[in-house]
Structure 1
Amino acid sequence: MPVVAGCSGEPAKIEPTDSIFAGLPNETVKEVIDNPKAQKNVADVKDVESRNSLWQGMVRNFIECRAAAKAYQSWKNTGQPPQLPPPPVPKTPLQPSDSDMSNFRKDMIKNIQSGDPQILKKMITGTGSCGEWIPMKPGDSSGQTIAQSIESHS
């Protein structure tokens, strides 16, 4: 598990092989660790447990937000409510990110069950949504966000 480094008070560099990421896709873990916005999100979090939960939650959020975007696009293209793939779950889910991701998933399902794709769209493109900052294309942190991509194709 990452720890606070030496006397500087700076967090140790997080590694894709850290135990907090066990069970999550390595390519997404690497992407999140390298993402400037993700780095900024954890920069001021001093507590190791909170920082680890945030890192793990961001990886899961990238996966779930992209799944929601794909579901919305499929729904828009086919007219049929989509089925969501099961999300990857870390070996050791950390709080509070685990509860946050569980609630996000429940909201996605509820939004799909509404029968209105615009409700799902709003969830991933609205103010404060995951789509505002997560890149649509994996690894392209300077490219379009999920929200930008969806809005440009609407």
Structure 2
Amino acid sequence: MRIQYSGRLRIFAVIAGCLMATSCAAGTVTISAQDPAFAGLPHELVAEVLESPVAKQRVAGDDEALAKARYQGMVRNYAACRAALAVYQEWMRTGRAAAYPPQPRPSNPASFAEDMDRDIANFRQLARSGDISLLRQELTSDSGCGAWIPAKPGDPSGPTISDVVRGVR
């Protein structure tokens, strides 16, 4: 037997079902690329991170303030890690490391922005180290940014930075 719901009853049935299901939007927040947390950061990169399945998973269950701070950090992480990949690729191609480029900084830094500042300083130091293996190690570490950030902007299912450095894909 199939139950047919009229308009209002159908809405109540959907709401009730959603409240009982654990996969409904409980614990998720919707954050716009225009949010003040992203002022000063590249808009297209913010949009990419906000759409990233991995980034969404990393903020699942966060309250709005923590989610914004974590997303802001991930935007900076994408930029920093891709810049390190570019330095690495230039180093491999020419035998000399390129200078690590300046990185975008948010106008309204989140509570743990200093952690990201240290990560950026570390990439800068690795680029100046004269030892490409140190940069390779950082980009291929299972706990580093290379393990989860897509190498190509806008391609979340493509190879990660670590994959590219390892020559996997």
Q: Which of the two has higher C-alpha Rg?
A: 2
Q: Which of residues 45, 49, 54 in structure 2 aligns to 1:37?
A: 54
Aligned residue type for 2:59: V
Rounded to whole Å, the distance in 1 between the matches of 2:54 and 2:39 is: 22
Q: CA deviation at 1:18?
A: 0.7
Structure 1 stretches lacking a partner, 5+ long: 1-7
Question: Does residue 61 of structure 1 match 2:61?
Answer: no
> Equivalent of 2:158, from 131, 139, 143?
143
Q: Which ranges of structure 2 fall in alignment gaps of 5 or more residues?
A: 1-24
- CA deviations on 1:46-71 (whole Å, 9 max, x unpaired) are 3x332211010000100000000000
Q: What is the number of equivalent residue pairs in this alignment? A: 144
In the TM superposition, what is the alpha-carbon distance from 1:111 to its structure 2 partner?
1.4
- Normalising by structure 2, report the TM-score: 0.80
Quote how far apart the aligned CAs of 1:113 are.
2.4
Specify the SS of the correspondent of 1:147.
helix
**How far off is 1:101 after superposition?**
1.2
Q: Kindly report the root-mean-square deviation, in angstroms, between the aligned alpha carbons of the 2 structures.
A: 1.4
Determine what percentage of the aligned residue pairs are the same residue.
38
List aligned pairs for 1:1-154, cutoff 5 A.
9-46=26-63, 48-96=64-112, 98-152=113-167
**Map of 1:3 onto structure 2:** none
SS in 2 for 1:63: helix
Q: Give me the TM-score of the superposition, normalised by structure 1.
A: 0.88
Structure 1 stretch displaced more, 9-18 or 142-151: 9-18
